[in-house]
Structure 1
Amino acid sequence: MILRSKTSWSRLLVAGLLQLQLLRACLAVLRYSNGFFYDDNGNGNGKKEIYFNGVRLHVESEEAAVFGVRGGSVTLPCRFWYEPALSAPRRTRVKWSWQGADGPETEVLVALGSRHRSFGDFRGRARLSLQAPGQAALLLTGLRLNDTGRYRCEVIDGLEDQSVTIDLALRGVVFPYQPTGRRYQLNFSAAQQACEEQDSTLATFEQLFWAWEEGLDCYGPRNRQLHRYDAFCFSAALTGDVYFLQSPHGLNFSEALRACERGGSQAARVGQLYAAWRFAGLDRCDAGWLADGSLRYPITRPRQNCGPPEQGVRNFGFPSQNQKHGVYCYRAH
């Protein structure tokens, strides 16, 4: 047995306490997670960027906005890299989310390595375009009207989380719409439904602004529940054809509906007529029935006896359904 003096034990105790205090100070600076230490430098550099042993994760997109066409495909670019470059690849998680106008952000796709899973209305239509290391582009197929909005590409590597946003817009046309009856009868939810019934969506602010820049007049701000107005709807390019069908003696409304059905089609909706006028150049100086009971015709080459000297879709409102006219039919591809 080795005996130590009281002074020696005191010195050992003080030395041990000093070592313990030093270790605690180190641990306060260096934290351990996912198998490596990192120094957060006071939660990064003030830009939500955290440095891992001098390595920083970058995420960017080559485009801030991407345009697509209805029924087509589009690629939303996104890539990530490290600075300085890594000597070995890391296991990263890629998450894409979508936010429509005034709506919550919802998941589109989550990928870990080569495995991915899509969600909701994007199921089976969304996948990653992994053409090269660091590529995390989102490929969307079968574009729908409701796919427009802001997409977020988020890359997660351990404790790092960086993201970039890209706006997706469809090329389309904004048109004013009022259902049968008196004008200015729609609140916000009724306007949404009215546009959907015409194969379109209620126009977003951005879509309405673009239309205003092209000369369309608009209302100012209004309460979405209390005030009643017509609707501004947005319709994109069609995946079918609109054509005019006529009869020697004309067709009343019910006869017009059946005539389209006999040809394997259906009476065109207002949004479909506008899309055919805007994107297919449909030009016909003959008023025809549409599915909502309205009477309209499209003009791309203004001429005498065809209304005002401007391009547009002429609207005769909702006449008696016993009147005899032709009909505009829509046949999907």
Structure 2
Amino acid sequence: MRQTMRWICVSCLAALLALPAAAWLAETDKGRKKIVHVMEDESGLVIVQTAPGKVLTHRGGTIILPCHYHHEPEDTDPGRLRIKWTKVTDSLMFEDVLVALGHQQRTFGTFRGRAFLQGSDSGDASIAIHNVTLQDYGRYECEVTNDMEDDTGFVNLDLEGVVFPYHPRLGRYKLNFYDAEKVCKDQDAILASYDQLHAAWMEGLDWCNAGWLEDGSVQYPISKPREECGKKEAPAGVRNYGYRHKEDELYDAFCFTSNLNGKVYFLKTYRKMNLAEAMAMCQKDGSEIAKVGQLYAAWKLQLLDRCEAGWVQDGSIRYPIVNPRARCGGPEPGVRMLGFPDKKYRLYGVYCFRKNNDTGQDFGNEITRKGQSGVKSAKTHYTSDRLEPSNI
């Protein structure tokens, strides 16, 4: 009987090995995303290398996300190589950024007119992104394909900026996840990532109210443990409530903003104003009333220091302190908040924001001038189906 079973098992193995390779891979790797490297004389091996760690820039800047490749044999026709950049928006979701085939390239969505291949040499798949936005923050995938085989690498784009806690006029713990996304956007910011909140905690951010982060988790940073903030004996750190129900559960928000394309300033007037008058005075001065995120960015990145309370766009009263002094709210630097007073009858100064006039038009012209490196103007449209994401 044992001898019979042995022959049966050998027969099963022989039958499995007789299956086509594709079918065998499909059975063994079913349900998993995989990258298969096929080494054949007519196509060769592609190897992709990207930068370790993070690439750092700021909103409004221009950044290069590095990606280099080499293929064997080295005399492979470069026109057969297809380069694809995508942004990882979720564990299973990707946003198309750029697809290139030879000297042709096509950009997608919000990256149109802002993203170009650097193309400094034959093995360079690096991408340049101009006028970086808050939404560009995150993880990117560089994929190089040569017929049947491919390889990928990842690059993390980080932004220098500032994290700030936020709750609306209605009070604390009034926001579900989608409300939190909206209030951050309304204040010239996005929901912060865990890495951004952790970096802010390392710099001393201490906040006793839990808030949403961009991944759907709820956390809060504690630098000075105390009873009312999770027990005095608990260690300092970023406290984690885990992933919460995005629609039903209510918390505050931790927002993140970056460099300003403009200037925040305290408008000098001959008298104090209510909120409507304050907004009108900023407009009269050729500006608009500053948003909360803009005030935080001006405090953190432009070192705005003003010991005068003023209106900001959400109807709250705030003022930024870089150099603490006794009469300006205590020993710590930060953006002080005096709450949400009556919009009609309480009188204060106002913080305005004046946007720069620079439109960044020169970048597209600069990239176009680099025609020798294979970079084309973003205004050129290509119709090859190999440049469509769905065919890649």
The one of 354, 358, 378 aligned to 1:331: 354
Moved more, 61-70 or 138-147: 61-70
* Alignment of 1:94 onto 2:80: no
- 1:158-237 equivalences under 5 Å are 158-216=147-205, 217=207, 218=220, 220-221=241-242, 222-237=244-259
Quote how far apart the aligned CAs of 1:82 are.
2.0
In structure 1, the gaps of 5 or more residues are 1-27, 32-42
Does the Cα contact within 8 Å between 1:63 and 1:77 map onto a contact in 2?
A: no
In structure 2, relative to structure 1, the CA distance for the partners of 1:91 and 1:279 (3 Å cut) is: same
Does the Cα contact within 8 Å between 2:44 and 2:71 map onto a contact in 1?
A: yes
Quote how far apart the aligned CAs of 1:230 are.
1.0
Equivalent position of 1:258 in the other structure: 280
In structure 2, relative to structure 1, the CA distance for the partners of 1:308 and 1:105 (3 Å cut) is: same
Equivalent position of 2:71 in the other structure: 82
User: 1:288 is aligned with what amino acid?
Assistant: G
User: What SS does the corresponding residue of 1:314 show, helix, strand or coil?
Assistant: strand
Does the Cα contact within 8 Å between 1:202 and 1:234 map onto a contact in 2?
A: yes
The one of 103, 120, 125 aligned to 1:131: 120
User: What SS does the corresponding residue of 1:301 show, helix, strand or coil?
Assistant: coil
Q: Distance in 1 between the 2:318 and 2:91 partners?
A: 33
Equivalent position of 1:301 in the other structure: 323
Quote how far apart the aligned CAs of 1:213 are.
2.4
Quote how far apart the aligned CAs of 1:83 are.
4.2
CA-atom RMSD, angstroms?
A: 2.3
Q: Distance in 2 between the 1:117 and 1:98 partners?
A: 15
CA deviation map 1:118-144 (0-9, x unaligned): 000111111100111110101000111
In structure 2, relative to structure 1, the CA distance for the partners of 1:101 and 1:291 (3 Å cut) is: farther
User: 2:255 is aligned with what amino acid?
Assistant: C
Q: Distance in 1 between the 2:144 and 2:271 partners?
A: 65
Equivalent position of 1:248 in the other structure: 270
The one of 90, 99, 108 aligned to 1:119: 108
Q: Distance in 1 between the 2:267 and 2:89 partners?
A: 38
Q: Distance in 2 between the 1:160 and 1:245 partners?
A: 61
Moved more, 214-223 or 227-236: 214-223
User: What SS does the corresponding residue of 2:328 show, helix, strand or coil?
Assistant: coil
Q: Distance in 2 between the 1:47 and 1:120 partners?
A: 26
User: What SS does the corresponding residue of 2:342 show, helix, strand or coil?
Assistant: coil
The one of 312, 318, 323 aligned to 1:290: 312
User: What SS does the corresponding residue of 1:319 show, helix, strand or coil?
Assistant: coil
* Alignment of 1:313 onto 2:335: yes
Quote how far apart the aligned CAs of 1:62 are.
3.0
Moved more, 53-62 or 266-275: 53-62
Quote how far apart the aligned CAs of 1:89 are.
4.5
Quote how far apart the aligned CAs of 1:251 are.
1.1
User: 1:117 is aligned with what amino acid?
Assistant: R
User: What SS does the corresponding residue of 1:199 show, helix, strand or coil?
Assistant: coil
In structure 2, the gaps of 5 or more residues are 1-17, 22-28, 208-219, 221-238, 357-392
User: 1:231 is aligned with what amino acid?
Assistant: A
Moved more, 236-245 or 212-221: 212-221
User: What SS does the corresponding residue of 1:131 show, helix, strand or coil?
Assistant: coil
Does the Cα contact within 8 Å between 2:85 and 2:97 map onto a contact in 1?
A: yes
In structure 2, relative to structure 1, the CA distance for the partners of 1:306 and 1:319 (3 Å cut) is: same
Q: Distance in 2 between the 1:193 and 1:50 partners?
A: 46
Q: Distance in 1 between the 2:35 and 2:95 partners?
A: 25
Quote how far apart the aligned CAs of 1:48 are.
3.5
TM (norm. structure 1) is 0.83
Over the matched positions of the two proteins, sequence identity in percent amounts to 44
In structure 2, relative to structure 1, the CA distance for the partners of 1:272 and 1:102 (3 Å cut) is: farther
Equivalent position of 1:50 in the other structure: 38
Quote how far apart the aligned CAs of 1:212 are.
2.3
Q: Distance in 2 between the 1:241 and 1:329 partners?
A: 8
In structure 2, relative to structure 1, the CA distance for the partners of 1:113 and 1:88 (3 Å cut) is: closer
Equivalent position of 1:239 in the other structure: 261
User: 1:323 is aligned with what amino acid?
Assistant: R
* Alignment of 1:71 onto 2:60: yes
Quote how far apart the aligned CAs of 1:148 are.
0.7
Flag the structure with more relative contact order, 1 or 2, with Cα contacts below 8 A and sequence separation at least 6: 2
Equivalent position of 1:149 in the other structure: 138
Does the Cα contact within 8 Å between 1:90 and 1:157 map onto a contact in 2?
A: no
Larger Cα-atom Rg: 1
Does the Cα contact within 8 Å between 1:100 and 1:148 map onto a contact in 2?
A: no
